[in-house]
Amino acid sequence: MEYLDIYDEEGNHLGKEERSIVHKDALWHNTVHCWLYDLEGNVYFQIRADKGKLYTTASGHVQAGETIKEAFGREIEEEIGYKVDYNQAKLIEVVKFVMDREEEDGSIFKDRAFANVYACEFKRNLNKFDFDENELSGIVKINAKKTLEIITNENGEVLAEKCFKQNGKLEIEEKTITFTDFLVNTGETAIGKYGEVLQFIIDELNK
């Protein structure tokens, strides 16, 4: 059974609660959005298995008693099989995320999260990932600056490298990425969802 630390809307800690109750009762909790980038100017997106769209490198809930950076390291390792030095992760922003959706059984999933967005340098090759195919269908390595241009203009394309599994073996191929390849939920914009992350990475590389 998974427990999450819960908070009021101002971020004051109230205790902990079972994850299912957190989403049933719309309790505030922490999530972590994890991003990897390299010194060549690339950012790494996962391809969500359920959506077929580009999303964070990894993401998930922060478990009860866990620090944000510990959750960063755990989610990266669980989803893409890379053990990162999470102490090197840098905070980009904390976003209040609110979403309600109806589930197949008619219940309402209520999400009230402080989304902690962090980034960390990736120092290995694309073929070193060992990702969970239940979570994602691949990983895309893409130029951060060109990606920001596409998202800002809502148009254009960029050639990227896609890492995927075929018969259990990692393969890499070139893939053309366009604006419609990025996951954007109802009520969100691509620039609002990914703009700060991409600009942060570009600024880090220019230091």
Joined together, the tokens standing for residue 199 give 């600009």
193, 117 contact by CB (below 8 A): no
The residue type of 154 is E
Asked if pLDDT for residue 186 goes beyond 90, the answer is: no
Question: Mean pLDDT of all residues in the chain?
Answer: 94
The pLDDT tens digits of the residues spanning 61-105 come to: 999 999 999 999 999 999 999 999 999 999 999 999 998 888 778
Asked if pLDDT for residue 38 goes beyond 90, the answer is: yes
pTM for this structure? 0.93
Q: Given this model, what pLDDT does residue 5 score?
A: 98
What is the mean predicted confidence (pLDDT) over 3-31? Answer: 96
- Nearest by Cα to 95 from 15, 185, 157: 185
